[in-house]
Amino acid sequence: MPDYRLQAVRVFTRDFEKALAFYTSRVGLRPSAVEMEEQYAVFPVGEAVLVVEAVNPDNPEAEDLVGRFVGASLSVSNVQEFYDELRGRGVRFTGSPVEQSWGGVLAHFHDPDDNVLTLVQLI
């Protein structure tokens, strides 16, 4: 059986500079690489990376990549604390943290392009 490990999750944006500012100053991630000309940034998150990159405005199919539920969860030690802190920084959430039937706690937040990412606490 192959030894799979998640390497990267890509999140697409229409406004790279705005997204870069959001993920650094509001979410608090620190990029390991930023390419302003090519419009992408790489943020280490555990053993994987979150890549934020601009879509090509000339590609009509690229529009479907922006403003959607990403399906990526950022694991944190205490969702309620991160929720409170990020809300204080102006991050918009879909609602308060919710305990799940499987035992974890989730809170979903929006980036400036309305991409939705998840904070998760495993308990």
CA 77 to chain centre: 17
pTM over 0.95: no
pLDDT at 59 (0 to 100) = 87
pLDDT at 1 (0 to 100) = 81
What is the rounded CA–CA span in Å between residue 74 and residue 104?
Answer: 13
**Residue 59 corresponds to which amino acid?**
N
CATH number at residue 20: 3.10.180.10
Q: Is 2 domain-assigned?
A: no
Q: Name the domain count of the chain.
A: 1
Q: Is 35 domain-assigned?
A: yes
Which residue range is the domain that position 52 belongs to?
Answer: 8-56+69-121
pLDDT at 80 (0 to 100) = 97
Q: Half-sphere exposure (CA, 13 Å, Cβ side) for 24?
A: 13
Q: What is the pLDDT along the chain (123 residues), one digit of tens a residue?
A: 888 989 999 999 999 999 999 999 999 999 999 999 999 999 999 999 999 999 998 888 888 999 999 999 999 999 999 999 999 999 999 999 999 999 999 999 999 999 999 999 998
Q: Is 63 domain-assigned?
A: no
Residue 11, strand partner residues: 52
pLDDT at 43 (0 to 100) = 98
